[in-house]
Structure formats: C-alpha cells, structure tokens
Structure 1
Amino acid sequence: MGVTMSWSSILKSLLAVCIFTHLSVSSEERYGCDNKKCYNGRCISNPKTCESSKGCFYHVQELKVPNVLSRSLKIKESSCSKDECTELAFSATLGGQWKFSYDHQCCYTDQCNRMSKHVESLPSFQPQPNGVECPSCYSEDGECKPVPLKCTGEETKCIEVIGTAMINGPLCSVIRGMGCATVTSCGLKNLTILENAKIDTFCSNGSRPLTSFSSALTCLFLMKALL
C-alpha cells in the first residue's frame, strides 16, 4: 500500500508540474507586435497580438526611379509573421537606373519591431564601380532590350527578374528586368514586392551576352506559375 501511495503521489506531483509548465509556456507564447504600415512617411496603425513561435517582423522596401518622383516609393511595415519569419536583405539596379532595396527582419520579444526604435538597415547604393558589367533593362510590357551597365558597390551579380504585377483587378502586366544585384537577391522564388507584384530572380557572374525578350502574351502563364 505504501508503495502504491508513493507512486500515486509521484504521479500527482508530475501531473501538477506538467500543468504548471503548460500554463507558464502558454502564457509566454503570446506577446504584442507593433502593427503599422507606412507609404512615403504616411502611416496607419492597428495594434494586435501574435504568437512568439511565429515572431514579429519589421519590413521596408524602397524603389527609386530617377527623374520620376511619382514612381518612387518607400514602404515600411511592422506586424506579426503569419509563417516562420525569415530574414532577407538585398538591392538591385535595373535598366534605366531603377534602384530597388528590400529588408525583412525578425524579432521575438514584446513590441520588438516598433518603428520608433527599429534601426533601418536597407542595403546602401554605393557609387564605386566593382569591375562587373551586366546587361540591363526594365519593362512592364514583357519587352526588354538590354544595354550594358557597370555595376557598383556590393552589387556583384548580374540578375534577371521576371514576374507579374496585378493591375485593375484580374489584369496584370509582365515585369521583365535585368541589371546588377547583391548576391542575396539570387534565386528568389515567388517573392512579393511592392504589395502587388510577384517575382522570380536568376543570377550569373557577369558579362552575359545581351539578349532581347518579347512576351506580352505570357501574363496568364506567369500568373499561374507565380501565384
């Protein structure tokens, strides 16, 4: 009987420990993430809570288009990760000197992604030539006629970008770009940028032969492949 009582007491104690541990872990699994989105400095805030297993994120994208201020855009966003958070930062310079930078950062403590205290770490565009030359072009109608571009700074890879951008509901435009990029931009698949575009990227080491591309009728195919 004494042995039975001892085992009973032990099991009760273990059960109590398990319940306490479960409650403690459950209470720690949820914490607040800053939830805000800004377009060129104009922000909308909507605080909410998310699970620590997914994490908070801080995200910023910037598109610079020379002499076309209406096309330039900077998007900042902080919120809860819907899936496991993966960090990524890269930059690219495409034909016509279209410059795009992207930074997605993760953190796992309460309000750790607040914009007011977050350090922005977009890859910087450096003017010093690095010896790499790439074909470059950019279009949103599927046609791309490359011209040579001397790469600068850490953009040491020749990149080719292909994707779709949704416009006016079911309609889309075919994005095609070539130029210089950081190594972290290579091999991206189905990445959403600037909210309404999805892209794939392919890289080489430079000095690729210039080629032309015409595929205005491939929008439907690309939508199926990238969505």
Structure 2
Amino acid sequence: MFWSSVLKSLLAACVVTEFAVSFVESFTCANSVSINGVYTPYDACETFQACFNQTQELKMPELARSQKFQQKGCATDECTDLAFSATLGGQRTFRYDQQCCTTDKCNQGDTQPSQGPATANGIQCLACYTEPGTLCIPTLLKCTGKETKCASVIGTVAGSSSPASVVMVGTGCATENACNLNMTILGSINIRTFCMSGFPVLPSAPASTGLRPTSISAVPVLIILPLLKVLL
C-alpha cells in the first residue's frame, strides 16, 4: 500500500512537471563569433534560458591594434550580466562585458563600453605586469573612470591548476566587479583576481632622509601574499 501511494504521487508529479514545461516557450538567439573583426555567423540557436552577448577586448602597447573577441549565442545555464575592466602595468588594459536577455533574437546588437570617459578619479595603485621569463618594475598608476580598486591578477592555462601553467601576473587598477573572479577569458586563460581599496599617494619623503614613500613600500606585500596562496 505504501509503495503504491508513492508511485501514484511520483506519477502525478511527473505529469504536473511535463504539463508546466510544455507552457515554457523557447526563443531563438543570434549565434556568431568575431575575432579581431573577422566575423563568423552560425545558424540561430534555441534556448529556454537566455541569449548572451559578450565582448572581450585586450589592449597592449606592443600590439598595433587591440585584440577583440565577440560572441553571441544561447546560454547553456544561468546567464548573468557582468561588466568589468582593469588597467595593469605597462598600460595593458582588459575590458569584459556580458549582457543577457530573454526575448527572441534580443542579442543581435553589439555591447557598448560600460566605462565612461577615462578621467582621473583620485585613486592610485601599484602597477606591474610580468610573464614567464620577464620581470617588471612596480610603478604607481593613476586610476581612471570606475576603476577604483587596486587589483592583483594571476592567469593560468585554462583547465590547469599547476603553478607551472602560470602565463601572467599583474597588478593595477580595476572596477569593483573585477574583484574576486575565477573565470576563463579569451577562451584559453583562467584568471583569479584579488582586490584591495585604492589609496591616495602619500607625499614623498625628502631626499635627504633616504626614506622611500610609505605608499610604495607597504603595498607589495599585500599584493604578493594572495598570489602565493594560489600558487602553493
């Protein structure tokens, strides 16, 4: 009797679930990839979740043009809007913008930069950028726009947790949404980020004292420690 009741309840639940799902309408999304202006369209995809529109842009002084990756498609699970940017040592900048929507082909347009004009915001951070086999000399970077946090970033080969897979380490200015991330960017690099509040630069000590500015000497330890935790 007990199992009979259980089976009847289970069957009823399945019927109700199927009935409810049948009333959830799917919708189509634009589906394409663009790498540095080379556009590749695909057939529109269909989803019950959401459409996404994602832009990633990397600018480095040594490159003649920025590296820009754009993708549109159907989200396979929960889609979350996310926009952040960071400026690391050597004026290397990265912008990420993902927008989600839930109507038919709502992701056809391009995402727009979320940052306003790049005007100084009064915050300065220690900036550095290094790749395997290279060193950097930390400098103070004046933050601009919404980049009000001092961030540390470590990048590894996507899918690997080995310390030997580190491809870059950097520090600089970032927006608040860039803090505490663990995600894959540009299809091949996994990044982990750590932030601290930005700080105003203290006046330099007179040259006759032989002392270094407090803002420079105190910050490196705070930046290096979380990176060491990741590598160990």
1:65 to 60, 64, 83: 60
Identity %: 42
Q: How far is 1:210 from its partner?
A: 4.2
Query: Is 1:177 paired with 2:198?
Result: no
Aligned partner of residue 211 in structure 1, secondary structure: helix
Evaluate the alpha carbon distance shift between residue 49 and residue 145 of structure 1 in structure 2; reply closer, same or farther with a 3 A threshold: same
Q: Residue 75 of structure 1 corresponds to which residue in structure 2? A: 69
Give me the whole-angstrom Cα distance separating, in 1, the residues matched to 2:168 and 2:38. 27
Q: Residue 35 of structure 1 corresponds to which residue in structure 2? A: 31
Q: Residue 211 of structure 1 corresponds to which residue in structure 2? A: 220
Structure 1 residue runs without a partner (length 5+):
1-17
Query: What's the TM-score, normalizing by structure 2?
Result: 0.72
Q: How far is 1:205 from its partner?
A: 1.0
1:126 to 105, 117, 120: 117
Q: Residue 162 of structure 1 corresponds to which residue in structure 2? A: 154
Query: Is 1:51 paired with 2:47?
Result: yes
- Answer whether contact 2:45 2:73 (CA < 8 A) is retained: no
Give me the whole-angstrom Cα distance separating, in 1, the residues matched to 2:165 and 2:18. 54
Evaluate the alpha carbon distance shift between residue 20 and residue 81 of structure 1 in structure 2; reply closer, same or farther with a 3 A threshold: closer
Q: How far is 1:193 from its partner?
A: 0.9
- Structure 1 letter corresponding to 2:195: C
Evaluate the alpha carbon distance shift between residue 81 and residue 144 of structure 1 in structure 2; reply closer, same or farther with a 3 A threshold: farther
- Structure 1 letter corresponding to 2:113: L
- Answer whether contact 2:99 2:111 (CA < 8 A) is retained: no
Q: Deviations over 1:160-195 (max 9, x none)?
A: 1012136xxx98443201000111111112x11111
CA RMSD of aligned residues (A): 3.0
Query: What's the TM-score, normalizing by structure 1?
Result: 0.73
Query: Is 1:139 paired with 2:130?
Result: yes
Give me the whole-angstrom Cα distance separating, in 2, the residues matched to 1:19 and 1:157. 46
Give me the whole-angstrom Cα distance separating, in 2, the residues matched to 1:20 and 1:163. 44
Q: How many residues align?
A: 191
- Answer whether contact 1:145 1:211 (CA < 8 A) is retained: no
- Structure 2 letter corresponding to 1:163: G
Give me the whole-angstrom Cα distance separating, in 2, the residues matched to 1:102 and 1:141. 24
Query: After TM superposition, where is structure 1 displaced by more than 6 Å over at least 4 residues in a row?
Result: none
Aligned partner of residue 79 in structure 2, secondary structure: coil
Query: Is 1:102 paired with 2:85?
Result: no
- Answer whether contact 1:60 1:122 (CA < 8 A) is retained: no
Evaluate the alpha carbon distance shift between residue 20 and residue 183 of structure 1 in structure 2; reply closer, same or farther with a 3 A threshold: closer
- Answer whether contact 1:164 1:174 (CA < 8 A) is retained: yes
- Answer whether contact 1:159 1:203 (CA < 8 A) is retained: yes
Deviates more, 1:200-209 or 1:31-40: 200-209
Give me the whole-angstrom Cα distance separating, in 2, the residues matched to 1:63 and 1:150. 19
- Answer whether contact 1:101 1:123 (CA < 8 A) is retained: no
Give me the whole-angstrom Cα distance separating, in 1, the residues matched to 2:193 and 2:68. 21
Query: Is 1:186 paired with 2:179?
Result: yes
Evaluate the alpha carbon distance shift between residue 19 and residue 179 of structure 1 in structure 2; reply closer, same or farther with a 3 A threshold: closer
Give me the whole-angstrom Cα distance separating, in 2, the residues matched to 1:126 and 1:158. 19
Aligned partner of residue 220 in structure 2, secondary structure: coil
- Answer whether contact 1:155 1:182 (CA < 8 A) is retained: yes
- Answer whether contact 1:88 1:103 (CA < 8 A) is retained: yes
